[in-house]
Amino acid sequence: MLKRIDITIPSDLEEPLLGLADMLGVSAFSSPQIRDEGIGETDFVYTGDTIVSFIISEVEQNTEEILEAVEDFVNEFALDDDAVKTSEYSDNQDWMENFKQFFKPIHVGDNIVVRPPWEPPTETEKNNDTKVILIDPGMAFGTGTHETTRLCLFLLSKINVENQTFIDLGAGSGILAFYLMMRNAKSGTAIEIEGPAVENMRKNAELNNIPDSLEMICADLGKYQPAIKYDGLVANITSPVIVEYLPVFSPWVKKGAWGIFSGVNTTNSLMVKNAFIQSNWEIIEEINEGDWCGFYLIKK
């Protein structure tokens, strides 16, 4: 039996709550909440709240301990009593149906569309230059709705990646890696620590006709050893993970390689920027959306 804990929080608490999930060893995903404006195909706005969902195996994990940790978090930040809801599912039950209402087509810049396969094509897709990334989130390993994904896509759109190699750290459902392959990257490695997420990424790769030159693997960043040095690196991961592992994965890229980073809350941006400098990354551009930062770097 699986239990899902949904915690509704202000969006600026998302990163610390995902950090709690990492500490507890719990699979988690986040769903920024939107409100439909009811005019055009992209007319919706973010409410400022996010639902972070913990997925717990009641057989393999200590549910009571995890619930106590969530309760402590709720009390620490004085959240409403109804901020936490729990649901139970049989292992093969599709718990994503209730979330489909939040997975709308996402437009990034003028020619990137991320949409779930159950949504019809958008007007933008009539443009032959548009890169359309279809994502069936499965167990919700990323849908493109998050600000950090859009920040990464926007920065990646500025880089010429043709015939280049890259590595995607914390690849989730594969959106960023797929986009790079659609932009004629030579080859790539997409790393994700969650086994079910890797399975979902591979299914989405088939959905998007991604070539076999994209390697999708389940691995721990602390233990992975790449066979080559890459031309570029993209990482949409949390600030503590960036700071901890930056000295580990910085040597995986060539001198002069590009780096695109997000997953960084504005509260932690200075800490992360200092880590970039210490690991010999030059900050070329920083952009923001809401409480989140995206960085374009060059490895010195």
Same domain, 243 and 136: yes
Residue 256: predicted pLDDT = 97
- Residues 81, 69: Cα–Cα separation, whole Å: 15
Residue 284: predicted pLDDT = 97
User: Does any domain span residue 269?
Assistant: yes
User: Does any domain span residue 239?
Assistant: yes
Res. 195: pLDDT tops 50 = yes
List pLDDT tens digits, range 62-75.
Answer: 888 999 999 999 99
Residue of 254 and 33 predicted with greater confidence: 254
Q: Measured in whole angstroms, how far is the alpha carbon of residue 52 from the centre of its chain?
A: 13
Res. 50: pLDDT tops 90 = no
**In a 10 Å sphere around its CB, with 0-12 CB exposed, 13-18 middle and 19+ buried, how is residue 295 labelled?**
buried
Domain extent at residue 227: 124-299
- The residues facing 253 across adjacent strands are 230
Same domain, 163 and 295: yes
Is there a contact between 267 and 240 (Cβ–Cβ < 8 Å)?
A: no
Same domain, 291 and 172: yes
Same domain, 86 and 130: no
Same domain, 130 and 66: no
- Residues 194, 140: Cα–Cα separation, whole Å: 12
Strands, DSSP E only, in 44-194?
44-57, 84-89, 106-108, 112-115, 131-134, 165-169, 187-192
> Cβ contacts of residue 123 below 8 Å, gap of 6+?
41
CB neighbourhood size of 99 (10 A)? 16
User: Does any domain span residue 28?
Assistant: yes
Lay out the sheet containing 2-10: strands in order across. Answer: 27-36, 44-57, 2-10, 84-89
User: Does any domain span residue 114?
Assistant: no
Q: Which of 79-83, 134-138, 168-172, 238-242 has the lowest mean pLDDT?
A: 134-138
Highest mean pLDDT among 27-31, 43-47, 123-127: 123-127
- Residues 201, 216: Cα–Cα separation, whole Å: 8
Residue 94: predicted pLDDT = 56
Token pair recorded at residue 104:
């709308």
List pLDDT tens digits, range 95-127.
Answer: 555 556 667 788 888 889 998 888 888 888 887
Res. 285: pLDDT tops 60 = yes
User: Does any domain span residue 242?
Assistant: yes
Q: Which of 46-50, 133-137, 234-238, 259-263 has the lowest mean pLDDT?
A: 46-50
Averaged pLDDT, 197-202: 88
Instruction: pLDDT band for 44, please (50, 70, 90 cuts).
Output: low
Res. 37: pLDDT tops 70 = no
In the chain, % of residues over pLDDT 70: 88
Q: For position 208, which CATH number holds?
A: 3.40.50.150
Res. 182: pLDDT tops 90 = yes
Residue 138: predicted pLDDT = 64
Token pair recorded at residue 22:
């990492």
Residue 102: predicted pLDDT = 60
Is there a contact between 164 and 263 (Cβ–Cβ < 8 Å)?
A: no
Is there a contact between 51 and 79 (Cβ–Cβ < 8 Å)?
A: no
What is the rounded average pLDDT for all residues in the chain?
86
CA-CA-CA-CA torsion sign (241, 247, 250, 251): negative
Residue 139: predicted pLDDT = 55
- Residues 121, 126: Cα–Cα separation, whole Å: 9
Same domain, 199 and 164: yes
- Residues 245, 266: Cα–Cα separation, whole Å: 19
Residue of 295 and 102 predicted with greater confidence: 295
In the chain, % of residues over pLDDT 90: 50
Same domain, 73 and 200: no
Q: Which of 84-88, 93-97, 195-199 has the lowest mean pLDDT?
A: 93-97
DSSP-derived 3-state class of residue 109: coil
Q: What is the count of structural domains for the chain?
A: 2
User: Does any domain span residue 223?
Assistant: yes
Is there a contact between 76 and 41 (Cβ–Cβ < 8 Å)?
A: no
User: Does any domain span residue 224?
Assistant: yes
Instruction: pLDDT band for 41, please (50, 70, 90 cuts).
Output: very low
- Residues 188, 216: Cα–Cα separation, whole Å: 8
Residue of 94 and 187 predicted with greater confidence: 187
Same domain, 89 and 166: no
- Residues 191, 1: Cα–Cα separation, whole Å: 28
DSSP-derived 3-state class of residue 80: coil
Is there a contact between 112 and 48 (Cβ–Cβ < 8 Å)?
A: no
Q: Measured in whole angstroms, how far is the alpha carbon of residue 113 from the centre of its chain?
A: 16
Res. 136: pLDDT tops 60 = yes
Q: Write down the residue that tokens 């060893």 correspond to.
A: 25
Q: Domain boundary residue among 101, 116, 146?
A: 101
Q: What is the pTM of this model?
A: 0.77
CB neighbourhood size of 140 (10 A)? 23
